[in-house]
Amino acid sequence: MDDINFIQVILKALDTATNTYGGMRTVGAEYQGTKPPLEEWKPKFWQEIFDYWQSCFDSLILLVEKDNPVSDRAKNIIGHSIRGLMQNGRVEMLDKAIKQVITLKGKYWFSALDSIKTTLEYDTKEMPKEGIDTLNSWLNLLTPDKTNIEEQLKILVINPPWESREGNDGLYIDVAAEKAENLANELSADIKLINEHLLLLLEGEQKKSFWFGKALAIKADDVSELLQNMINMISTIEQPNSSFAQGLLSGIYQKSVDNWNNYLEIFSSKPELIKFYP
């Protein structure tokens, strides 16, 4: 089963099979000539449905084990299914699958983290305490290791799930931005650690890298070396994301307008950087 096109069809079927929110269609079992119409399978007992979902998960785990883009697609299907299957009481099945995927692929798993947080926010009003405890245990499993900078950046800065809470003034606070800022505060004592992961912060989607960069520039004693390394790197990337650079400059502006102006002159005077100046 190594034909990617074939596997994509299987993934589409597994995605539909593990989606508990239903759908619609305009035709049923087809007629073939003068024969009776094909009779579609319908489960007679809940256990048949549970066995069906388990079979789908078994197939998805096999695909997660592969070392190609199919693996990420299968992983995301499992992650997106968590909320719906949790509503249907498939706790043990989910627990086993989540632990297997983390063991195979690590803690960076946006679709699972987003699904679990959404479930905790909207579906726990009548949920037994055991279910809530299980959801929180999965959150703990997906919490980045303090010693793994790359993992923390991916989960807390680059692609965190949306998270908010209501403040005392009735306005909503961006909790995800707060977590990115807290990480910046923690790393500000040794920002050389970030130099090794600059490329991560300059490519692709960067949800909270502006807030991370701003907090880092404000908290750290000196970000000149980091900013210079960023300037050298950003001009070599084909389609860079400048959110982290903007955050650093915003923090520098808050501490020293003169210093900020000096960096702006660098962006306005070098041909390879002028496109970032606006």
Paired with 217 in beta bridges are: none
Question: Residue 96: which domain range?
Answer: 1-20+43-143
Could you give the CA distance from residue 117 to residue 207 in angstroms, rounded to a whole number? 17
**pTM (predicted TM-score):** 0.87
Alpha helix (H) ranges present in 88-191?
91-105, 110-122, 129-141, 149-153, 175-187
Instruction: Give the pLDDT confidence score for residue 34 in this predicted structure.
Output: 76
Paired with 166 in beta bridges are: 172
Instruction: Give the pLDDT confidence score for residue 152 in this predicted structure.
Output: 97
Q: What's the pLDDT band for 23 if we cut at 50, 70, 90?
A: low
Could you give the CA distance from residue 70 to residue 78 in angstroms, rounded to a whole number? 13
Same domain? 107 vs 163: no
Where a domain ends, among 113, 143, 173? 143
Could you give the CA distance from residue 207 to residue 180 in angstroms, rounded to a whole number? 10
pLDDT tens sequence across 250-271:
999 999 999 999 999 999 999 9
Q: Is residue 25 over pLDDT 70?
A: no
pLDDT tens sequence across 87-102:
999 999 999 999 999 9
Q: 150 lies in a domain?
A: no
Query: Considering its fold, how many domains does the chain have in total?
Result: 2
Contacts of 175 (CB under 8 A, 6+ apart): 163, 164, 165
Give the lowest-confidence range in 35-39, 45-49, 129-133, 253-257.
35-39
Q: 37 lies in a domain?
A: no
